[in-house]
């Protein structure tokens, strides 16, 4: 089993999404001790934004190679654990830059006469979502969720249907709310690892 562990939080040791991806990973390894793990820290080593030169294949060789490496890691993964903080109602730009390297026609999707077709379907995704406020279904903030909803859309576009979200929300509402959110997320981690 190949596990890809992605972090994108910029808040270092205070990062809730990093805490959750680490605990999700530990639970998965406990179940699959022989799993091989690749960790990509998009805050420590961000990928460049896409450019015209990248699309034209004339970008610097190291930039093209970095994008290829990210794509190959993703395609090789049976499970991707993705730390996805909400920053300004959406995902961190570092995480978006990574997704921009994955959305490659003929690899993760293709267009057919009948519309688009995802090509990366045989894969499981676990998103570790952390949010300062509340955006779950039924809350007043739900329409402002361009983070989890976006990730579900893009992985759905790649053909991936097995997407779970471990969510800690309301973490900016004080230390008690933060602890409660993390404890709830831990309960979910135990459930999906079971």
Ligand X SMILES: Cc1cc2nc3c(=O)[nH]c(=O)nc-3n(C[C@H](O)[C@H](O)[C@H](O)COP(=O)(O)O)c2cc1C
- Residue 52 CB, shortest distance to ligand X, in Å, is 28
Residue 178: CB atoms within 10 A of its CB come to: 17
Binding of residue 11 to ligand X (CB under 6 A): yes
Which of 27, 40, 87, 124 binds ligand X (CB under 6 A)? It is 87
* Residue of 24, 85, 148, 165 that binds ligand X (CB under 6 A): 85
**Residue 5 interacts with ligand X (CB under 6 A): yes or no:** no
| 172 in contact with ligand X (CB under 6 A) | yes
The 124-163 contact track toward ligand X, x by CB under 6 A, reads ------xxxx------------------------------
Other beta carbons within 10 angstroms of residue 60's beta carbon come to 12
Measure Cα distances from 183 to 115, 143, 163 in Å: 42, 25, 21
| One of 13, 55, 56, 88 touching ligand X (CB under 6 A) | 88
Evaluate whether 40 touches 73 at the Cβ level (below 8 Å).
yes
Distance in Å, CB of 186 to ligand X, minimum: 15
- Cα 102 from Cα 26, distance rounded (Å): 25
The residue with tokens 């390894």 is 29
Q: Give the residue with the Cβ less far from ligand X, 17 or 28.
A: 17
Q: Quick one: 66 or 177, whose CB is closer to ligand X? A: 177
Considering the complex, state which of residue 150 and residue 157 has its C-beta at the smaller distance from ligand X: 150
CA distances from 172 to 74, 150, 182 (A): 31, 22, 12
Smallest separation, CB 17 to ligand X (Å): 3
State the Cα angle at 174 between 163 and 16, rounded to 5°.
35
Residue 87, CA distances (Å) to 54, 60, 76, 129, 189 in order: 26, 30, 28, 11, 23
Is residue 16 involved in binding ligand X (CB under 6 A)?
Answer: yes
- Residues in contact with ligand X by the rule CB under 6 A: 9, 11, 15-18, 85-89, 130-133, 171-172
């Amino acid at each position: 089993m190949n596990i890809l562990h992605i972090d994108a939080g910029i808040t270092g040791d205070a990062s809730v999404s990093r805490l959750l991806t680490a605990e999700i990973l530990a639970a998965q390894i406990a179940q699959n001790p022989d799993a091989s793990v690749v960790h990509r820290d998009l805050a420590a080593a961000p990928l460049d934004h896409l450019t015209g030169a990248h699309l034209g294949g004339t970008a610097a060789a190291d930039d093209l190679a970095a994008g290829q490496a990210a794509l190959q890691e993703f395609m090789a993964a049976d499970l991707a654990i993705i730390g996805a903080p909400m920053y300004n109602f959406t995902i961190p730009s570092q995480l978006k830059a990574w997704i921009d390297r994955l959305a490659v026609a003929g690899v993760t999707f293709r267009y057919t006469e009948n519309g688009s077709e995802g090509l990366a379907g045989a894969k499981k995704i676990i998103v570790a979502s952390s949010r300062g406020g509340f955006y779950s279904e039924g809350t007043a903030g739900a329409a402002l969720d361009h983070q989890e909803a976006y990730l579900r859309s893009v992985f759905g576009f790649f053909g991936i249907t097995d997407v779970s979200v471990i969510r800690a929300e309301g973490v900016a509402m004080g230390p008690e709310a933060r602890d409660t959110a993390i404890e709830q997320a831990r309960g979910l981690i135990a459930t999906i690892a079971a």
